[in-house]
Each structure stands twice: as C-alpha cells, then as structure tokens.
C-alpha cells in the first residue's frame, strides 16, 4: 500500500509536537503560508527559513504585499531538510543531497550514497568516543600527587 504525498506528510508531521495532523495540508491553507507558520511547523526560527533561502536549500518564496508566502512544496522540501538534520547531515551535505547529483538521480540513490558516508563517519566517531571512555577510566584511577606526575606517567606509557 502506498501513501499519497498528503498521507506521507501528515505522518511526517505527526513527529512534531503541537501540530494537528493534516492541519497544514488543507488546500485552503497550504497554498499561502506565512514564514512564521512554516517556522512553527518545524520548530525553526524565521531567520533559519530565510537562511535556507539565502543558501539555496529552499527556493525563494512568493511575495504577497512584500511578505514571504509558501506553498506545500516548501513544506515538503523543509520536511526533507529537517529529516536530514535529524540524522546528522550538515547544511553542506543537505545541499549535496539536493544539488550534488546529476539531474534525474532518484532520491533513494542520493540518500544511500550520502547515508553510507555518514554511517562511516559515525563509526569513526564511535571509535574515538570509545577510546575517550577508556582513557577517562584510566585517569579516574589516578594515584598521582601532582599533575606533573600524571604528565610523566602519560609520557612513559604513551597513549595506549
């Protein structure tokens, strides 16, 4: 069973506190959202929305009486940005997700390639964190009388 865009987005929005399911996808509302409405859905500041526009992650909004107005497509784009941020992608990696592939590259291939890189990065971080934990446990058992004694002991033993 496949989800329509509306059902998918409603399900995605259910992850955000304080958002009524479907409330922003009503056709009467979703075609003309103020920047504050969009920011509230994603728990962002309006300055973040403007910054996403500035760096090209979010296309420029329509203007109505000088104010930014957004349609559903901006919400869909920000949903992808938000999910990418939640998974640890940097803004540069998010730009790569949108613009760093040849035209026509399907989303699964984009996500897969970037995810594999991110997973490798996370594994390396975990190794460093495990080493830090080991070193912290060692220094917890310190019996030195002065920090200079600690320094001497560390130099004799090396990092391991």
Tell me the two tokens of residue 64.
């109505």
Closest C-alpha to 42, from 108, 107, 3, 86:
86
Q: What is the pLDDT of residues 68-123, one digit of tens each?
A: 999 989 999 999 999 999 999 999 999 999 999 999 999 999 999 999 999 999 99
Closest C-alpha to 25, from 72, 61, 69, 58:
72
Q: What is the pLDDT of residues 38-49, one digit of tens each?
A: 999 999 999 999
Q: Would you say 73 and 80 are in contact if contact means Cβ atoms under 8 Å apart?
A: no
Q: What is the pTM of this model?
A: 0.69
Q: How far does Cα 67 stand from its chain's mean position?
A: 27
pLDDT score recorded for residue 32:
84
Eight-state DSSP code of residue 90: -
140 Rama sector, left if φ>0, alpha if ψ -120 to 50, beta otherwise: alpha
Q: Would you say 58 and 98 are in contact if contact means Cβ atoms under 8 Å apart?
A: no
């Amino acid at each position: 069973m496949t989800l329509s865009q509306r059902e998918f987005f409603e399900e995605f929005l259910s992850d955000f506190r304080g958002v009524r399911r479907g409330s922003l996808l009503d056709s009467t509302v979703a075609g003309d959202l103020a920047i504050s409405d969009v920011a509230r859905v994603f728990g962002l500041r309006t300055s973040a929305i403007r910054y996403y526009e500035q760096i090209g992650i979010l296309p420029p909004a329509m203007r109505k009486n000088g104010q930014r107005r957004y349609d559903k497509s901006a919400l869909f784009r920000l949903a992808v940005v938000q999910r990418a941020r939640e998974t640890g992608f940097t803004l540069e990696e998010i730009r790569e997700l949108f613009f760093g592939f040849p035209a026509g590259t399907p989303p699964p291939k984009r996500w897969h390639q970037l995810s594999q890189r991110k997973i490798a990065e996370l594994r390396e971080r975990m190794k460093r964190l495990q080493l830090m934990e080991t070193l912290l446990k060692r220094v917890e058992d310190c019996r030195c009388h002065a920090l200079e004694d600690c320094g001497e002991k560390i130099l004799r033993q090396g990092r391991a």
